Amino acid sequence: MSRTTPLTPSSFDPAVGLELEMVVAHATTGHSLPIKHYFPALQATLEGAAQPVTLDGRCVALLADDGEYGLDNGFNLLETSTRPVRRSEGGLLALAGIVNRGCRHVFDALRADTAVVLNASQHPDCPRDLEWYRRVRVERPIYRELVEYRGWRHWEGIDAKAQNGANVQVSVQDAVRALNVMIGTAAAHVALFANSPLEAGRRTGLKETRMTVWPRVFHESRFAGDAMLTRFPPRPFIDLGDYFRWMFRPGTVTRSLPLARRHDYKSAPTVLLDGDPSLSAFLASRGWTGRRTDTGERVELAPDAAHFEHSQIAHFMDARLRYRLATLPALEQLMAAWRVRDGLEALFEDCGAEIYIEGRGPGAGFADEVLMAEAGEAVADSVVMSPAALQWGLLQRLDDAEALLACWPWQRLSELRDRAMKSALADAEVAAFSKAVLEIAREGLSAAERPFLAYAEYVSETRRTGADRMLETWASMPGADAARRLAMVAERHRAIIPL
């Protein structure tokens, strides 16, 4: 719902963080490479103490002062997550320092595996079969549930599909407005950072093939509701209650639910409920029988507000609302607030909620020698921070962003997103829309923050995305086999630190 006057108080001190996924490849051949020596090398290079996190006896992350250095779904796909940085701490400027230092640490540590990070949002020539999947998958309990119980084709994403995901804090009252803006402007985020034109050693005909992962993952899902939660919503959301009714509606099936409140949703001991109810049905019950995913033990689980909080990760759209409650309300309070217009907003404020908008549209991108030669150091230096700057700027100008979206039928915005995946800025309408989104974001940034938009503005002006540059490298060796082309990609498109 559009409001003409922002409800965010002037004293609000929002934070911003970054989840950055990185495609790992052998430095010479370019082959997808599951890391082996990376974490010991990283621990040696990190400043200060870093706490290892292990699964099945293997290190899968290091927790450091500035964030977490870990893995996404496989040992061939790194994921670094920074700590949130408040505006009063320097906001985007301070975050850029953390990210730049972190990338240096990662790139240095990968040398222990003779590996590099590719400037790509998906590995250009990597298997996705079950054998490869079993070899490189991180053994998180949630993945066993998704594959073995829900029937997800989780291996469709095991070829290192990578995003640049900013997390921008918004006020509780502005949360749904901000989410609608990020969903509605998805075409711009996809197009400007499109970086995956190749798959399995072939051109795909798309500039951002990475975004096709969800229809393939859910192609044979046991529950139709899983695929429903990946699609562009039929209309903007009205309030938090409306958003959660969409997410937990009849026809959806709750994931397994934790025995106790924990924020580690990928590894917490959980219960699969008998009869596969929606979360709404479970929360309205007195209790539900099921079995533990770790031991197989039969239990009865009593519904709790913690199960509502835990289930916030149920969908896979281009933007997601993430939150944490300082105090957990009684289930009765939660259900009563959920039935009232803006009721969850009031309850979340009373419970000290911190809400972030998680951007999921931009593909991962880095500076490489091709971009440096073409666009110069200032543009190359801004690549990693550009998606966060775009999101941060937009969410400071919600009225303007909503006014732009009001000029478009909502379903046309969904079609524009699909066209952005295919053609990026070669589509004139996508290019014009992306330029308008960029102009709003620029106005939402301070003078000191605007240089972070340099890469996005360069792409908008030239209509040349990372996908276009990679395709040119691929086509520059006529008659060469896929192995030689891949080695050239590794040489020309390995990530570098410009400064």
Q: What is the DSSP string of 238-254?
A: -SHHHHHHHHT-BTB--
- CB distance 24 to 76 below 8 Å: yes
**Amino acid, res. 54:** T
**Amino acid, res. 151:** G
Find, among 14, 174, 9, 22, the residue nearest to 84 by Cα. Answer: 14
Burial of 425 (0-12, 13-18, 19+ CB in 10 A): buried
- CB distance 175 to 355 below 8 Å: yes
Find, among 368, 362, 361, the residue nearest to 472 by Cα. Answer: 368
Q: Provide the pLDDT for residue 6.
A: 41
- Structural tokens at position 79: 């994921």
CA angle 368, 371, 372 (to 5 degrees): 80
Map residue 355 onto helix, strand or coil.
strand
Q: Provide the pLDDT for residue 3.
A: 37
Rounded CA-CA distance 198/205 in Å is 8
Q: Which long-range contacts (CB under 8 A, 24 or more apart) does 332-337 make?
A: 333/305, 334/283, 334/305, 334/308, 335/283, 335/284, 337/241
Find, among 308, 313, 339, 340, the residue nearest to 325 by Cα. Answer: 308
Q: Provide the pLDDT for residue 210.
A: 98
Q: Provide the pLDDT for residue 190.
A: 98
For each of the domains in the chain, give its residue range(s) and CATH number, in order of start. Answer: 15-249+317-492 (3.30.590.20), 253-313 (no CATH)
- CB distance 106 to 32 below 8 Å: no
Helix (H) or strand (E) holding 133: helix 130-136
Rounded CA-CA distance 353/459 in Å is 37
pLDDT per residue rounded down to tens, the chain (499 residues): 333 334 455 689 999 999 999 999 999 999 999 999 999 999 999 977 899 999 999 999 999 999 999 999 999 999 999 999 999 999 999 999 999 999 999 999 999 999 999 999 999 999 999 999 999 999 998 999 999 999 999 999 999 999 999 999 999 999 999 999 999 999 999 999 999 999 999 999 999 999 999 999 999 999 999 999 999 999 999 999 999 999 999 999 999 999 987 655 555 789 999 999 999 999 999 999 999 998 999 999 999 999 999 999 888 999 999 999 999 999 999 999 999 999 999 999 999 999 999 999 999 999 999 999 999 999 999 999 999 999 999 999 999 999 999 999 999 999 999 999 999 999 999 999 999 999 999 999 999 999 999 999 999 999 999 999 999 999 998 888 999 999 999 999 999 998 6
Q: Provide the pLDDT for residue 267.
A: 58
- E strands, 72-231, are 77-82, 85-86, 115-118, 164-170, 198-199, 202-203
**pTM of the entire predicted model:** 0.95
- Structural tokens at position 419: 């066209």
Rounded CA-CA distance 160/25 in Å is 10
Q: Which long-range contacts (CB under 8 A, 24 or more apart) does 8-12 make?
A: 8/170, 8/171, 8/173, 8/174, 9/171, 12/171
Name residues whose C-beta falls within 8 Å of residue 171's C-beta, 6 or more positions apart in sequence.
7, 8, 9, 12, 14, 355
Largest CA distance in the chain: 68
- Give the count of beta carbons closer than 10 Å to the beta carbon of residue 223: 19
- CB distance 451 to 436 below 8 Å: no
Find, among 386, 345, 381, 370, the residue nearest to 491 by Cα. Answer: 370
Rounded CA-CA distance 135/112 in Å is 20
